[in-house]
Amino acid sequence: MSIHLLPAHVQAAEDLVAEAAAHGGLAPLDIEAFWHDDDEAHRDIWAADCPQMPLGVRMSAECVFAELDEAEDWHRHYHDGAYKQALCRRYNDRAEPIVGRRLLDESAPPDPSHIWPQPKQLYDIFEAKNIWNNESYWLMQVVDTPRDLEALLERVEKRLDSLRDFLLPSEWHSEKKRLQELGIPSPIYRAQRGPVTFATSIFGVENLIYLLIDQPDLAQRFSCVLRDAILARARILDEERGWDAGASARGWYWLDDNCYLLNNEMYEVFARPILEAVFATYSPEPGDRRGQHSDSDMAHQLPSLAKLGLNEVNLGPNISVAEIRQALPRAAIHGQLAPFTFSRNEEVNLVAECIRDAEMARTQRGVIFSTAGSINNGSRLTGLRLIMAAIQRHGQY
């Protein structure tokens, strides 16, 4: 549902949609001028001479099914690189005349002999399984009671004592020399499912909330072990890359949809210390990336995100550009188009939300117009063209 829309936004949107309808569904747009200005806008999203609100939507490979009217086969989409490549190529063939660019990655799947063996994930350290079920991967619950959690944390703590042996697969060292000689860098670790989403996945949502209320000491220990595991995994993979602590790549990004489930007091106790420690290590300078995606109701967590100095956010659609900007004056805001507005192809709302956000961005800039969350299958190229036209007509700075 669209929020914060004014009658003027809706009126302007209806006019543009009517024009598109009169042209076979294609919104009036100077494609070449749009991309020229968009490239310019991305050069510095804060600049006084930034020509227009930059567009962040580049669609996603999920959108191929609805756009191409293909039967959904998500398992194959995730696991068959050639199949996905073919779909993306067909999608791009369709995209080019509508929006003027080939949006999806249509490069060939990597040569298997050029892929590093997979180091174990954070969830492996916590004995969790990531299971394919109902068209997606789900991180499954490991423990259900505080007593079992305590036992798990003890095992994880022991595991952290010799984490390198646990983390790296047996063939790692034999492959390392060969792949380094080919100039293929080993994987590093700079993004993670956020602490609340991770903890609620492996321990249960209610269990974590009850733990924070009833057994704050154990909750704090859980938080500390999680922090230590993240830092240790990142450090080991850096070392395998040949980096020491001072010379590693900067920046970190969190994906923490569930953090809205905690009140701010709980978030401060459980999650913020983890983000703080990771940012202190990997994003120590003001310009280093401190990003978070949480496509949920995030207003109550903004004070914590502000304390953490986030400089890049992609938050849920119930919060406005103005509210985020007030809390995070220097954060790039990726949003605030409601994902359902896009995937349900609500054309008038699509345009109206774009005009709304352009108005809120005009004074302070820093908004990259994107979905406030994921781009879902059902989101259409004609919808993207409408957005582009809306920016060209109403989103000029």
Partner 1 sequence: MQKMTARERVHSALERRPVDRLPVTEGFWAETLTRWRTEGHLGPDEDPIDHFDLDMRRAGGLNCIADLDFEPIVLEETAETILRLDGNGASLRRHKLYSTTPEHVDFTVKERGAWEKAIKPHLLAIDRRRIPFENYREERDKAAAQERHFCWAGMAPFEQMHPMCGHEYMLMGMALDPDWVRDMVNTYAEFTIRHLDLLFAEEGLPDSIWFYEDMGYKHSPFMSPTMYAEIMQPGHEKLFRYAHDLGRKVIVHSCGYVEPLLSGLVEAGMDCLQAMEVKAGMDLPRIWRNFGQHIAFCGNIDVRELVSNDPERMRAEVDRKIRPVLAGGGSYILHSDHSIPPDVDYETYAAFLAYGRPLGQLTWPTRRAS
Which residues lie near partner 1 (CB under 8 A)? 204, 206, 209-210, 213-215, 263
Residue 236 or 299 with smaller CB distance to partner 1: 299
How many residues does the structure list for the chain? 397
Residue 209 or 322 with smaller CB distance to partner 1: 209
CB of 295 to partner 1, least distance (A): 22
Contacts of 317 (CB under 8 A, 6+ apart): 3, 295, 335, 336, 337, 338, 339, 341, 372, 373
CB of 265 to partner 1, least distance (A): 9
Helix residue spans in 1-119 (DSSP H): 7-22, 31-43, 64-68, 74-79, 81-99
* 3-class secondary-structure state, position 378: coil
Residue 142 or 209 with smaller CB distance to partner 1: 209
Q: Report the alpha-carbon distance of residue 318 to residue 247 in Å, rounded.
A: 39
CB neighbour burial string for 8-42, b if at least 16 within 10 angstroms, e if fewer: ebbebbeebbeebeeeeebbebebeebeebbeebe
DSSP per-residue string spanning 15-29 = HHHHHHHHTTTPPP-
CB of 7 to partner 1, least distance (A): 24
Q: In what helix (H) or strand (E) does residue 367 lie, and over which residues does it extend?
A: strand 367-371
CB of 213 to partner 1, least distance (A): 5
CB of 145 to partner 1, least distance (A): 8
Residue 204 or 335 with smaller CB distance to partner 1: 204
- C-alpha torsion 153→165→232→187, nearest 10: -130
Residue 231 or 262 with smaller CB distance to partner 1: 262
Residue 66 or 205 with smaller CB distance to partner 1: 205
CB of 210 to partner 1, least distance (A): 3
